[in-house]
A and B are shown apart, each in its own frame.
Chain A
Amino acid sequence: GAVVSQHPSRVICKSGTSVKIECRSLDFQATTMFWYRQFPKQSLMLMATSNEGSKATYEQGVEKDKFLINHASLTLSTLTVTSAHPEDSSFYICSATGPSSYNEQFFGPGTRLTVL
C-alpha cells in the first residue's frame, strides 16, 4: 500500500515552454502533498506544500508564478513549471501523506526535467 506515482518520469523541453508534472496517490487519499526539487549531489529542497482544495503554501524563495501547484483532488496534485529555462532543469519529487499517516511521507519516483 501507500504508492505514489509521478508522470512523466523524464521530460526534455525547449526553453520557454511549460511543463506539467503529475503526482498521484494510487491507493490512499492524500490529504497533503509536498513538492521537492533536487539538484545533482544535493539534498531535497522543499518547494511547496499543498492541501486538497486549497492554495499551496510555498517555501521562501520559490516563485509561485513560476511553479504552479494544483491539488484538485485527494489523489492528484500537479506541478507546472511555466516558461521553463535551463536553470529549472532538476529532479522533481512529490510526496504525500494520508489521514492516518500524518507523520510519514510516501514518495513518488521523481521526474527528471531537462530544459534545453
Chain B
Amino acid sequence: AQKVTQAQTEISVVEKEDVTLDCVYETRDTTYYLFWYKQPPSGELVFLIRRNSFDEQNEISGRYSWNFQKSTSSFNFTITASQVVDSAVYFCALWGCTSYGKLTFGQGTILTVHP
C-alpha cells in the first residue's frame, strides 16, 4: 500500500519569509514518481514538479525548490521569499509502478501568506 503524509495541516507566514512544506511517503515500489501540486482558491490543480525515484538531485525553479531524500522517504518543498499569491493548498502525491496508474495524495497543507 502507498501512503503520503503531509503533517502540516496549515501554515501561516508573513510575506518574504521562507517556508518549507513537508512530505513523507511510503511505498514498496522501487520505481515511483513524486509530485507537488498547488490548488489556489479557484480549485484548479496546478502541476509544480514531478520527480522519479532514481533522480535524487534537488531542483530549483525560481523561488521554488525541492529536496528529495530517499533515505528518509521525504520530498520537501521550499518557497523562498513567499508572496501573497503563494497562498493556496499544496498537495504532495505519489505514483508507484504497481499502482495501476493511480495517484496517492497527501492530506494537503494550507499555506497562508500575509502581507
Give the residues from 72 to 88 in chain A that come closer than 8 angstroms, CB to CB, to chain B.
none
Residues of B within 8 A of A110 (CB): 43-45
B103: interface (CB < 8 Å): yes
B3: interface (CB < 8 Å): no
Range, interface on chain B: 20 to 34
CA distance A106 to B108 in the complex (A): 18
- A93 contacts which of B33, B42, B45, B101 (Cβ < 8 Å)? B45
Contact A104 B50 (CB under 8 A): yes
CA distance A32 to B100 in the complex (A): 10
A107: interface (CB < 8 Å): yes
A46: interface (CB < 8 Å): yes
Contact B43 A105 (CB under 8 A): no
A38 CB to nearest chain B CB (Å): 8
- A102 contacts which of B44, B101, B106 (Cβ < 8 Å)? B101
Q: How many A-B residue pairs have CB under 8 A?
A: 49
CA distance A109 to B47 in the complex (A): 12
Interface membership of chain B positions 82-115, coded 1 if the CB is closer than 8 angstroms to chain A and 0 otherwise: 0000000001000101001111011110100000
Nearest-neighbor residue (CB-CB) of B96 within chain A:
A103
Residues of B within 8 A of A41 (CB): 110
Nearest-neighbor residue (CB-CB) of A108 within chain B:
B44
Contact B105 A109 (CB under 8 A): no
Residues of A within 8 A of B110 (CB): 41
Give the residues from 1 to 59 in chain A that come closer than 8 angstroms, CB to CB, to chain B.
32, 34, 41-44, 46, 49
CA distance A112 to B44 in the complex (A): 11
Q: A32-B101, A93-B45 are in contact. List 19 more A-B contacts (CB 8 A).
A: A34-B102, A34-B103, A41-B110, A43-B108, A44-B91, A46-B103, A49-B102, A91-B43, A95-B103, A97-B101, A103-B33, A103-B50, A103-B101, A104-B50, A105-B101, A105-B103, A106-B47, A109-B42, A110-B45
Give the B-binding residues of A (Cβ under 8 A): 32, 34, 41-44, 46, 49, 91, 93, 95, 97, 102-110, 112
Q: List 8 A-B contacts (CB under 8 A).
A: A34-B101, A34-B102, A46-B102, A102-B101, A103-B97, A104-B95, A105-B103, A107-B47
